[in-house]
């Protein structure tokens, strides 16, 4: 038997013209789409991009810092702390006569906190000397910022003063350390001014404990105006610490829209100058 014979089919010639036509069509389509894309307006930014640009371009500010000006002046044997009474929420005045300055009294030997004569129900014998002595006792504290946060820090400071009696600097440093490191306290938005017979300090949430070099300290929205006005009057020997603080607060209330002229005042006698006066009297 003979094997079947197969007929060989010649290969078909390859025609490159359809492939070239397809490539040309694709190239023209790509050029046309690029031209249309360039002619269209840019797409609007997304919410995430807009929020990111706002946070990076606008300064960080909080409305809770508005509505307060506290100034502290040490001059001529007295330390005076004065603050306004305005409390605002946005553009609305909530309260015009808030008391933003407190006086903390030390604990007595029995563990109970000292109460000034004017706060108890018993009537005094009318001794002005005891009243003046009581007015020169304790530690003066003024606060700016959120009210609840400020009172929380005030209670913490009161505890530190009980733990380290007579050591205001150490108490302030310990409060600043806890304020900076504690995960709950670090969220508190407030600032404190603390003063006693020996020194005055500003405590912030950044862990700063600042003591003024010229006897003037201030916190709050109008503090820059009050500090500048107080420093300009420190060379006037005829003005007392309270006079300087009052004039400074008056100027701040006229320039800062979040500060009014309803002032609260607390003052103490400076201990160092009292000692110098007593030594001078003994020499005479």
Distances (CA, A) of 271 to 76, 116, 142: 11, 20, 20
Per-residue buried b or exposed e for 15-50, using 16+ beta carbons within 10 Å of the residue's own CB: eeeeeeeeeeeeeeeeeeeeeeeeeeeeeeeeeeee
The structure tokens listed for 252 are: 């701040």
CA–CA separation, 100 vs 255, rounded Å? 20
Q: Is 69 a catalytic residue?
A: no
CA–CA separation, 43 vs 45, rounded Å? 6
Distances (CA, A) of 245 to 29, 71, 90, 229, 241: 77, 7, 27, 9, 6
Q: Is the dihedral of CA 150, 141, 83, 178 positive or negative?
A: negative
Catalytic residue, from 27, 68, 131, 264: name it.
68
CA–CA separation, 35 vs 40, rounded Å? 9
- State in Å, rounded, how far the first CA of the chain is from the last one: 155
Residue for token pair 């610490």 = 241
| E strand segments, the chain | 69-75, 78-83, 87-89, 92-95, 101-104, 139-145, 190-195, 200-203, 209-210, 216-220, 264-269
119 Cα distance to chain centroid: 32
Q: Which residues participate in catalysis according to the annotation?
A: 68
């Amino acid at each position: 038997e003979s094997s079947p014979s197969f007929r060989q089919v010649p290969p078909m010639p390859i025609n490159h013209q359809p492939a070239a036509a397809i490539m040309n069509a694709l190239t023209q389509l790509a050029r046309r789409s690029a031209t249309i894309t360039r002619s269209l307006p840019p797409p609007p930014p997304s919410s995430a991009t807009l929020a990111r640009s706002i946070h990076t371009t606008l300064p960080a500010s909080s409305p809770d810092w508005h509505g307060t000006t506290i100034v502290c002046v040490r001059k001529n044997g007295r330390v005076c702390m004065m603050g306004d009474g305005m409390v605002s929420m946005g553009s609305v005045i909530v309260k015009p006569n808030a008391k933003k300055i407190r006086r903390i009294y030390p604990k007595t030997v029995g563990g109970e906190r000292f109460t000034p004569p004017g706060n108890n129900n018993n009537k005094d014998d009318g001794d002005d000397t005891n009243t003046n002595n009581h007015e020169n006792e304790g530690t003066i504290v003024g606060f700016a910022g959120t009210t609840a946060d400020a009172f929380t820090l005030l209670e913490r400071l009161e505890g530190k003063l009980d733990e380290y009696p007579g050591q205001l600097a150490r108490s302030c440093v310990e409060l600043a350390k806890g304020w900076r490191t504690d995960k709950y306290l670090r969220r508190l938005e407030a600032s404190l001014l603390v003063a006693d017979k020996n020194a005055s300090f500003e405590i912030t949430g950044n862990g700063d404990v600042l003591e003024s070099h010229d006897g003037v300290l201030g916190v709050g929205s109008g503090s820059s105006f009050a500090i500048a006005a107080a420093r300009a009057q420190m060379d006037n020997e005829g003005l007392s610490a309270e006079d300087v603080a009052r004039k400074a607060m008056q100027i701040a209330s006229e320039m800062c829209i979040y500060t009014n002229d309803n002032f609260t005042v607390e003052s103490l006698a400076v201990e160092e100058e009292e000692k110098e006066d007593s030594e001078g009297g003994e020499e005479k």
